[in-house]
Amino acid sequence: EAGVAQSPRYKIIEKRQSVAFWCNPISGHATLYWYQQILGQGPKLLIQFQNNGVVDDSQLPKDRFSAERLKGVDSTLKIQPAKLEDSAVYLCASSRGGRVSTEAFFGQGTRLTVV
């Protein structure tokens, strides 16, 4: 079974530029998550999708971050415009269901550096 795929693995951009990350979850997983992991901190949930609907985006900075999951499969996370403090690893995860008891599987992440 293929795991969660993310691209790109690394991205360096200048502040005020825009960037997009892509995630392909495990086949059949209805729930998809985007996490932000700043150096020295644990992952923080940005947004959770159930199929193509948003379940929780309470910690997503909506003035600059956006995410979509068209057709309930792949997802993209966009930052526009980027700030220095957005430098982090962005992790995508997926699970069969949205309950906390369902194991989430994580991708390798995209490391973003904003200069």
Do residues 94 and 44 touch, judged by C-beta distance below 8 A? no
Which CB sits closer to another protein, 17 or 51? 51
Which CB sits closer to another protein, 9 or 16? 9
- Picking from 24, 43, 33, 25, the residue whose alpha carbon sits closest to that of residue 88 is 43
| Stated length of the chain | 115
Q: Site residues (CB under 8 A) for another protein?
A: 4, 31, 33, 40-45, 48, 50, 55-56, 91, 93, 95, 98-109
Task: Report the nearest approach of another protein to the CB of residue 82 (Å).
Answer: 22
Find tokens 């059949």 and name the residue.
28
